[in-house]
Amino acid sequence: MSARTIGIIGGGPAGARTAETLAQGWGLRRAASGGHRVLVFEEKIGWEKPCGGGLSHKALERYPFLAETTGRGTLVRDAEFVAPAGEAMCFRLRSPLAIYSRATLNGLLLRRAEEAGAEIVSDRILGLRRENSGWKLAGRAGDYRVDFVVLAGGVRSRLRRLFVEDFSPRDFMLTFGYYVPAQSELLRVQFYEKFEGYAWAFPRPDHLSVGICGKVGEDRMAGLRERLHVFMQKFGYDSTQARVFSHLLPALCVESWGNLRLAGQGWALVGDSAGLVDPVTGEGIYYALRSGELLAEALLEELPELYPGRVWEEFGRALALGARLAGTFYYGEFLGSGVTTRMVDFGARSRKFREVVQDLLEGSQSYLGLTARLYLGLTRALLETGAGLLRETFQRPHTI
């Protein structure tokens, strides 16, 4: 195979993992590397992207180096889910989650890519065009020529529209939050009635990420801010000395999953740029890392056209199903109350049902299997909690 240069635009988890896997596969640290090059273009190396930074057990199992807590990430073992009316379910996680500052996580992944032989270029790519069989990239510091382009610059990258159509407003969640200078060992999530989104408090090594996300169209920024401030006041999170963040998170609707394009002649999209985020939980880091690996493996085989099919088979189909289930999860009803309310009710009383909730957090089961287990868990929870809960359910007034 002739020497190739891969240009990766964006140094987040997707771009860095693509680069590391390619560099390792081509042995760029060895003399006999065949003249291949992997260039990662990232202008803001080590910047704090607005993001919860949560890594599920599924991610830690595949990437065990991320579970190391040498002052970089926080392992969380205790969680609390809060229902719209205030009922809470507290539980100990079977397997801990890791929560990173994105500046720390991105820096770690870029260092691994560089140690494997990738070249980190501190520049911003402003435009690109086809040139012969490759691409000419126009950066602030100069021009670059590459054979294959990987766009990993996030869902809002202006370069994305040069390859595919922009996502519609329905394909996003709006987030708003604070980096609060405080410490806690508890992960907390607050749900709302008839609202596709949630508020969260994620502990990090030296602060808390406290925020809220809502599907675009659910509420305006002022409404999100008000919901979040009520959440913070209720649980004692002080925003006085906190830094503010806000961003858009991909949460593709069903139609967009059906029309998703991940690659074409000489180019591919990975991570958030491709819209590869769980529509129910908002988890995106695992899918960013894994999509980068799948693309790199296809490039190493010289079969990049296989990349979209591998994404679809491994997790794309499951995420598309998640888009169909998101409405039921946030708007559906069971026994006279919302699904999230019932999830907290039954989870607080039933060990079997808490196991289903753990599966949702861990990402350890597809949505197809999780849905089946959810209904089985509801049945078991009813048996465990007995007629007392049923009497309470039907006697208690509900607001719709």
pLDDT in tens, 218-250: 888 999 999 999 999 999 999 998 999 888 899
In a domain, 354, yes or no: yes
Q: Which of 322, 345, 373 corresponds to the end of one domain?
A: 322
Q: How much of the chain, in percent, has pLDDT values that exceed 70? A: 87
Report the alpha-carbon distance of residue 293 to residue 50 in Å, rounded: 24
Q: Give the residue among 157, 162, 105 at the shortest CA–CA distance from 135.
A: 162
130 and 38 in one domain? Answer: yes
By the 10 Å C-beta count (0-12 exposed, 13-18 middle, 19+ buried), 3 is classed as exposed
Lowest mean pLDDT among 183-187, 244-248, 396-400: 396-400
Residues 156 and 271 in one domain: yes
Residue 206: give its domain's CATH number.
3.30.9.10
Residue 71 lies in a domain: no
Residue 76 inside a domain? The answer is no
Q: Which of 66-70, 136-140, 198-202 has the lowest mean pLDDT?
A: 66-70
**92 found inside a domain:** no
pLDDT band at 146 (very low <50, low <70, confident <90, very high): very high
Is 62 among the domain residues? no
Based on the fold, state whether residues 107 and 22 are members of the same structural domain: yes
Give yes or no: residues 351 and 231 share one domain: no
Q: What is the CATH number of the domain that holds 130?
A: 3.50.50.60
Q: Are residues 214 and 336 in the same domain?
A: no
Find the helix packing angle between 339-349 and 317-331, rounded to 10°.
90
Tell me, what's the pLDDT at 31? Answer: 58
Structure tokens at 190: 């607050």
Distance CA 194, CA 389 (A): 23
Q: Which of 110-119, 181-190, 386-395 bottoms out in mean pLDDT, i.e. has the lowest?
A: 386-395
Tell me what pLDDT residue 346 has: 85
Q: Is the distance from CB of 359 to CB of 373 less than 8 angstroms? A: yes
Q: Does residue 83 fall inside a structural domain?
A: no
**Could you tell me the two tokens for 133?**
């069989």
3-state secondary structure the chain: CCCCEEEEECCCHHHHHHHHHHHHHHCCCCCCCCCCEEEEECCCCCCCCCCCCEECHHHHHHCHHHHCCCCCEEEEEEEEEECCCCCEEEEEEEEEEEEECHHHHHHHHHHHHHHHCCEEECCCEEEEEEECCEEEEEECCCEEEECEEEECCCCCCHHHHHCCCCCCHHHEEEEEEEEECCCCCEEEEEECCCCCEEEEEEECCCCEEEEEEEECCCCCHHHHHHHHHHHHHHHCCCCCCCEEEEEEEECCCHHHHHCCCCEECCEEECHHHHCCCCCCCCCCHHHHHHHHHHHHHHHHCCCHHHHHHHHHHHHHHHHHHHHHHHHHHHHCEECCEEHHHHHHHHHHHCHHHHHHHHHHHHCCCCHHHHHHHHHHHHHHHHHHHHHHHHHHHHHCCCCC
Q: At what angle do helices 13-26 and 102-116 cross, to 10 degrees?
A: 20
What does the pLDDT average to over 35-47? Answer: 87
287 CB burial (10 A radius; 0-12, 13-18, 19+) = buried
Q: Which residue, 13, 24, 25, 19, is CA-closest to 109?
A: 13
Tell me, yes or no, whether 14 and 162 share the same domain.
Answer: yes
Domain assignment present for residue 72? The answer is no
State whether 242 and 185 are in the same domain: yes
- Final residue of a structural domain among 250, 283, 298: 250
- In this prediction, residue 365 has a pLDDT band, given cuts at 50, 70 and 90, of low
Please, which pLDDT band fits residue 386 given cuts at 50, 70 and 90? very low
User: What's the pLDDT at 258?
Assistant: 92
Mean of the pLDDT values across residues 171-191?
94
Assess if residue 93 is contained within a domain: no
* Whole-angstrom distance, CA of residue 228 vs CA of residue 397: 26
Residues 142 and 263 in one domain: yes
**Domain region containing 181:** 169-250
* 112 lies in the same domain as 161: yes
Residues 161 and 21 in one domain: yes
Domain co-membership, 38 together with 135? yes
Same domain, 148 and 176: no
Structural domains in the chain (count): 3
Tell which of 231, 250, 269 closes a domain: 250
Direct distance between the N- and C-terminal alpha carbons of the chain, in angstroms, rounded to an integer? 64
What b/e string do you get for 292-308 counting C-beta neighbours within 10 Å, with b at 16 or more?
bbbbbbbbbeeebebbb
Angle CA(280)–CA(285)–CA(291) in degrees, nearest 5? 100
What number is the average pLDDT over the span 252-266? 95
Amino acid in position 235: F
Rounded to whole angstroms, how far apart are CA atoms 91 and 88?
10
Determine the Cα–Cα distance for residues 204 and 395; give it in Å rounded to an integer: 42
